[in-house]
Amino acid sequence: MDLSALATSLQTTLGAHLPGVLGALGILVVGYIVAVVVRAGVRRLLGAMKVNQRIEESAQQRMDVESGIAIGVFWLVMIVTLVGVFNTLDLAAVSNPFAEMISQILGYLPRLVAGTVLLLIVWLIATVLRALAARALSATSLDAKLAAEAGMEPMSKNAGNVLFWLVILLFLPAILAAYDLRGLLEPVQGMLNKVLDALPNIFAAAVIGFVGWLVAKVLRGLVTNLLLAAGADKAAAAAGLHESVRISRLVGTIVFIFVFVPTLIAALDALQIEALSQPATDMLGKFLDAVPNLVAAALILTVTYYVARFAAQLVARLLASMGLDALPERMAARAVTSAASKAPWPPTPAKRRL
């Protein structure tokens, strides 16, 4: 075998492709360095803009968006580098798919920029409205009073977040259209249309519920104070009820329930959700039908109590007038006298023990 001829052939072949290989390696090294530098620069820029912190404050959830964007830019530069490497090596069959993908990415870049700009504008508007709503609610004492009465957090915290996400939801179809995400746009648009159709019912239900709660609370306070001023609690204590039982509070709570429950059912009817309103309506109807029986039972119990108490006092007085109260004392005295008469006198002295 002629080794010199083989060496000459290899040298000729490598000599022809060696510049291309070295050029491809150079492009790969330079592209990798550029990708790393760009990734670090993008991450530092996003960190200076506090993107993660702002997203966490807005969404109340921690998300590492800075690293995701930096990694995406890194691989975009690397794909461009690979296209250049494969073209240098005359590997068109390998570089064409990458080149097509790059062209699609660059073609989508204007939509990506437009959608991102629109998203930032919407986020800014939602953030400003949330801050204004929170400041307006916290500026008055009504928010704190309602929160303390309902046993929940102040509305200034929750109302601002609800307004923030409502603004995002309203502009979400426009954002998806800017990104050209048709697959997500149609379901979101349908959901938004349903939400907008239900908003008048939700608003009406909220107004009815709030007004009913306010009226019930005022009537409860009015009835409680009137009964307290009329001496209902003192009369109940004089009738023998425990001091922990406050008739004024009890009647006030009953009035609150009688006013607020129908209002709550009316609010459910305003929502037009029969699965909730129909059982509540049926329950209220049965309760109202039972009210006469409950009142009659309460009257019977009250009359029976006073009649039994009057009869007990009458019987006690009758027996006392017959001298039965002194009977046990007399019987005890007779027993003592009888025992004394039977005992020997003088008493026998006790025998001494030996």
- Could you tell me which of 257, 267, 266 has the C-alpha nearest to residue 287? 257
- Sign of the torsion formed by the C-alpha atoms of 283, 285, 288 and 289: negative
Provide the token pair at 74: 């890194």
pLDDT at position 148 = 62
- Could you tell me which of 185, 162, 161 has the C-alpha nearest to residue 175? 185
Helix segments in the chain, DSSP class H: 3-48, 51-59, 65-88, 92-138, 142-150, 155-178, 182-230, 232-238, 247-271, 274-321, 327-342
Gap between the Cα atoms of 249 and 210, Å rounded = 22
Residue with tokens 């921690």: 62
Model pLDDT for residues 63-83, shown as the tens digit of each residue: 787 888 888 888 888 888 888
Gap between the Cα atoms of 160 and 168, Å rounded = 13
pLDDT at position 353 = 47
Domain boundaries, the chain: 20-90, 198-272, 278-319
Who has greater pLDDT, 225 or 237? 225
Model pLDDT for residues 286-330, shown as the tens digit of each residue: 766 776 787 788 788 878 877 887 788 888 877 777 766 666 666
pLDDT class of 337 with cuts at 50, 70, 90: low
pLDDT for 354 beyond 60: no
pLDDT for 341 beyond 60: no
Model pLDDT for residues 1-45, shown as the tens digit of each residue: 455 655 565 455 555 566 777 788 888 888 899 989 999 998 888
Please state, rounded to an integer, the average pLDDT across all residues of the chain: 76
pLDDT at position 221 = 87
Gap between the Cα atoms of 268 and 202, Å rounded = 9
**pLDDT cut 90: percent of the chain above it:** 1
Model pLDDT for residues 49-63, shown as the tens digit of each residue: 777 777 777 666 677
Residue with tokens 């800017």: 178
Which contacts of 301-307 are long-range, i.e. CB under 8 A and separated by 24 or more positions? Answer: none
Q: Residues of 124-138 as b/e, b for ≥16 C-beta within 10 angstroms?
A: eebbeebeebbeebe
pLDDT at position 112 = 81
Q: CA Rg, the chain, in Å?
A: 45
pLDDT class of 181 with cuts at 50, 70, 90: confident
Who has greater pLDDT, 291 or 266? 266
